[in-house]
Amino acid sequence: MDLYGTLKRVLQGNYSQQDLVQIVDLFQKTALSYLRYLQVSGKRIGGERENLASELEDLALDCIAPLFKRDKHGRFVLLIAYFGANLENYKPGDNVHLLSDTRRLVVKKTKQELARIFRERDPEGARLLRNIRVAVRYSDDLHIFREAGRDWLCFRAYAVADLQAEMAAVSENGHSAPQPDTRAPGLRRHQPVIPEEQLSQLFLSVHKSTDPVSTSLRKILNLLDPLEQYQNCVPVDLVARTIRQAHDESMRSHTERISQQDTPFEHLQTLEIEQAMSAVDESIWEKLKQYVWRRKLPLNVAEAYRFALRDVLRDILDHPDRVSYYKQLQHYLPNLGYREYRQEHRSVFEYLAKLGKRELSDRLKKLV
């Protein structure tokens, strides 16, 4: 298509439906290609559905959707701010330059939206990744570098040794591709990355639930030291999954031990907790009935909210491996799509979940 002419009509507001469809299709394909690149690079972008291709296509649409935000006059404010209202900085018919800037815009927005979607779907995982970066930032011996689209964790000394070996090879041999057997002890890049299952098993043997994140990072890297058949660095996302799996396993083991210890007050404690849960459930239902009365929610949707919120609160007590809010609600509204959840349900549902958690916490504190 004539990208210059089509995009200019969209920016000026005198576009046809076909023009807009073409621009959206171009943006989606650009975002989709970037998502596939991340998937091939080892990032777990999708996987919640059986049909990964369809999931990535929907995710690409979610990522580019904010770019088509309109003001009260129907103008695409973000596109106008980026390209200009009349494509002032582009020559007529300059599709190559325009396509390059389009890709840059779509990829940048896709990165931003992926981070937001990840925080919404997995707030605990996002918090763990943030804690890993903070721990590395304030340490003297840990280091994170970026390569091949992924962040890698290593000891700072090994990264320095690796860099010095490369510089020495360049000065001596006149090229930047040293032979693997001549490299100084460092990251061992000529070796494969340790398999996730093996790293998880090794880390479980040294993991303690009371370890801070920085200690866990050092334990993982110390486990890699004697394993000369693997690299001396590891992807940050793999580190996060390993720490989280070990923590969840510790929580499960602890819960099982507690459940096997009978106490004289166990029945009374369970009864009091159930009473607190019932009181919070009734409080939430009273709020939901107000939404129904004001015609902000249909009755069947309000009932689905009630059941899903009850599961959310019960997961806090029973399951350390929690399910996302979207999955909880989708269980009672099977046809609910993620985009519909974000647009029509998220604000009310997560607000009520926040209120319910706060009220349940206050009631349980009184029991203690």
The tokens of 1 are what? 């298509």
Closest CA to 194 of 253, 234, 152: 234
CA distance 260 to 258: 5
The tokens of 146 are what? 């970026």
pLDDT at 340: 86
Mean pLDDT along residues 3-11: 90
Contacts of 368 (CB under 8 A, 6+ apart): none
Which residue matches tokens 């304030």?
138
pLDDT at 183: 42
CA distance 213 to 135: 7
pLDDT at 51: 61
258-270 confidence digits (pLDDT tens)? 555 555 545 555 6
* Alpha helical stretches, state H, the chain: 3-12, 17-40, 52-64, 77-83, 95-121, 123-137, 156-173, 196-206, 213-224, 236-259, 266-293, 299-318, 325-332, 338-340, 346-367
pLDDT at 347: 86
271-281 confidence digits (pLDDT tens)? 777 888 888 88
- Beta bridge partners of residue 144, listed in sequence order: 153
214-260 confidence digits (pLDDT tens)? 999 999 999 998 888 999 899 998 898 899 888 878 767 655 655 55
pLDDT at 357: 85
- Beta bridge partners of residue 153, listed in sequence order: 144, 234
Predicted TM-score (pTM) above 0.75 = no
Are the CB atoms for 236 and 152 separated by under 8 Å?
A: yes
pLDDT at 172: 61
DSSP 8-state symbol, 195: P
Which residue matches tokens 């998502």?
35
Share of the chain above pLDDT 90, in %: 24
119-164 confidence digits (pLDDT tens)? 776 677 778 888 999 999 999 989 998 887 788 999 988 888 877 7
